[in-house]
Amino acid sequence: MNQETIVKEARDYLAREKDQAFRGEVEKLLLAKDWKELEDRFYRKLEFGTGGLRGIMGGGYNRINSLVVKSATQGLASYIVKTFPEKAQAGELSAAIAYDSRHYSDVFARAAAAIFAANGIKTWLFSAMRPTPELSFTIRRLHCDTGIVVTASHNPPEYNGYKAYWNDGSQVIPPHDEGIIREVDAVRDIREMDFDQAAARGLIVLIDREMDEAFQAMIKSRLYRPGLVKAKAGEAVIVYTPLHGTGALHVEKVLGDLGLAVTTVPEQREGNGDFPTVAFPNPEEAAALEMAVQLGKEKKADVVMATDPDADRFGIAVPSDPKGPSPGEFTLVTGNQMGVLLADYIFLSLGEMGKMPEKPVMVNTVVTTGMQRRVAESYGVECIECLTGFKWIAAVMRRCEPGGDLAGKTFVFGTEESYGYLVENEVRDKDGVSAAALTAEMTLYWRSRGKSLLERLDELYVENGYWQELGISKYFQGPEGPSIMKGIMDGYRKDPPGTLGGVAVARVRDLVGGADGLPPSDVLQFFLEDGTVVSARPSGTEPKIKFYATCRAEVKGAKRSLGEARAEAARKLDAIKKDIRHVIGD
C-alpha cells in the first residue's frame, strides 16, 4: 500500500469519525509520518464477518472504533428493515443490546442504540454490563428482531468486538450474515439520533432487573436435583472468578439462591477493561486461573470456577487425586472433558428421572472430542456434529423445532471444545452462568456418591476409552497474515500428508465446499487409520490458524491400564504436534 493511498484513506476516515480520541490517534500518526503503523490501520477495512466484528481498538478502518461500530450498526439496521418490511412500516421492529466490561463497550453500545432508533428500531439497552447469554435470552423473551453484544470475549484488553444476533437469539448464519455484510460494506451515510431524544420518545428503553430476575429464574429451573442441592449445599466450597468481566452478578446470585457459599476472587470481581491481573482473560488459559486456584487451595475448595469477560465461556479446576503425585494441587479440566462430564450427568439424570425424551439429541462441533459421541450413544442419545461456533449448534436447535427437518427430535445439550456449553433452550449461545449452576449440582451429586469429578471422568475413560486432545494456534499479524494462512491451507489441499505423527491418513474431509451435510467452511480434517482426527482451520475472529487433534487409546477392550492408555495417547499427540509445527514454522 503506497503512501498516497494511505493518506487518502486516513483523510477519508478523519472526515467521518466524530470521536476525538480515535481521530487524534490518526492525526498524530500522519504528523509523525509513521507509515508502517498507518498501513496496518488502513490496508483493509475491518471485516464484518460471519460473527460480527473483532479487532484492536483505535483510529482507522482496520480497528474497532466509533465509526466502524456505527457503520456496522447502520448496515445491520438497513438489513433488518428490508427483511421485515411490514414490521418496519408498522413501527414494530425492535432490538436488544448488551455490553461487557471492556473499554468503550458502553460508548459503542449507546451509539448503536441511537442508530437503531434513527432507523425506527426500538431498542432495549441494558443499563450496565451484562453477559452474552443474557442478551440471547432477552432477544427471545422480548421477541426482538435482532440484537448486539459489544464484547471481544476472551481477547486481550486492547481488543473489542461486536456480535450480531438474529431474532431467535443466535448469532447470524447464512443467508442473513451474507446479507448483513453486503449492507455494511455499502454504508456511507449513517443515520444517527440524539440518545436522550430517542429515550424520551421511547425508542430506547433501559432494562436491567426485569431481565436479570427472569434469566436467573430460568437457570435455576433447569437444574435436575434442586432438593439435593438444598440438602447438600453446605458441604460444598466453591471459589469463583469472573476475570474482571460480567459474570459475578449472576453466578453469585444464582449459586447463592441455591444455598451455596461462593468465594469470589476479590481482585478479579469487578469489571475492569484493563484486566490487570491476567494476560488473557480466558478460562482456557491456565495462567488466567492462577489466582482462583491459589484461593481454592487456601479455602480447600471442591471446585474452582471461572467465566470469561462476557460470561459465555466457563472453565473449572478441581482438587487432584489426594493419593496421586500432587496432593493439594488442582487439575484444570479441559473444555472437552467438561463437555463429557456434563453430557454424562445430563443423560444420567434424565434417565434416572424418567424424563429422557423419545428422540434426544446432543450437538457438538467437528473439532470436539469423539468421546462425547461415545458417551451420548451409551445413553441412547443421538450426537449431531456441526461447524465450529455456537451459532451452528443453535442452527441445529432450530432444526429440531416444529417445521424443521429434525422436528420430533429434542435438543438436550450442546457443547464445543472451546469451553462452551448450553443446557437450556431459552438461550441460543453458550452460557457460562447456567454451566456454573449445573456444575455445582453435578459436583454435589457425585460427592454424595463418594466420588470426585475426576474419579467420575476416569470411570468414563475406562468404559469409553481414554481420549486426549491437542490444540495449536499461531498468529499471523499484519497485511501479509491472511495470505500466509491461505498458503498453509492451500498447501494441505494440494499436497495432503500421507501420514501424521507416523500414522497413515485414511481419509481427508475438506469442508470448503461443504461435505457430509455440513455448510461450506474453510476446514480440513485428516482421519487417521487409528481413529485419530486432525483438523485445521483459520480463526473466524482472529488472525490465526488453529489446529486440533483428538485421539483415543482403548482401555477396557484392550486390557490395558488407564495409565498405559494415557501414555499411548500422549505419544501419538506429541508426534502429530511435531509434524504440525514443522508446517507452520514453529
Q: Which of 10, 64, 12 is nearest to 42 (CA)?
A: 10
Q: State whether residue 194 is helix, strand or coil.
A: coil
Cell for 284? 482456557
Give the mean pLDDT per block of 10 residues along the chain (586 residues). 94 96 98 96 84 91 97 97 97 98 98 98 98 98 98 94 96 91 92 97 97 98 96 95 98 97 97 96 96 97 97 97 72 97 98 97 96 97 96 97 97 97 97 98 96 96 95 86 89 93 96 92 95 90 87 88 94 94 80
> Tell me, what DSSP letter sits at residue 58?
S
Superfamily name and number for 63-213? Alpha-D-Glucose-1,6-Bisphosphate, subunit A, domain 3 (3.40.120.10)
| Class of 337-461 in CATH | alpha beta
Beta carbons within 10 angstroms of residue 471's beta carbon: 18
Q: What is the pTM of this model?
A: 0.94
Cis before 175 (ω within 30):
yes
- Same CATH topology for 63-213 and 337-461: the answer is yes
First to last CA, the chain: 28
| Burial class of residue 402, CB neighbours in 10 A (0-12, 13-18, 19+) | exposed
CA distance 7 to 125: 37
Please report, for the chain, the start and end positions of each structural domain, with discontinuous segments joined by +.
63-213, 215-219+237-328, 337-461, 466-584
Based on C-alpha coordinates, what's the Rg of the chain? 24
Active site residues: 153
User: What pLDDT does 556 receive?
Assistant: 84
What was the pLDDT predicted at 326? 64
Q: Which helix (H) or strand (E) holds 298?
A: helix 290-299
* pLDDT score at 475: 87
DSSP code, position 137 = H
Question: How many residues in total does the chain contain?
Answer: 586
Assign domain 466-584 to its CATH architecture: 2-Layer Sandwich (3.30)
> Considering the domain 215-219+237-328 in this protein, what is its CATH number?
3.40.120.10
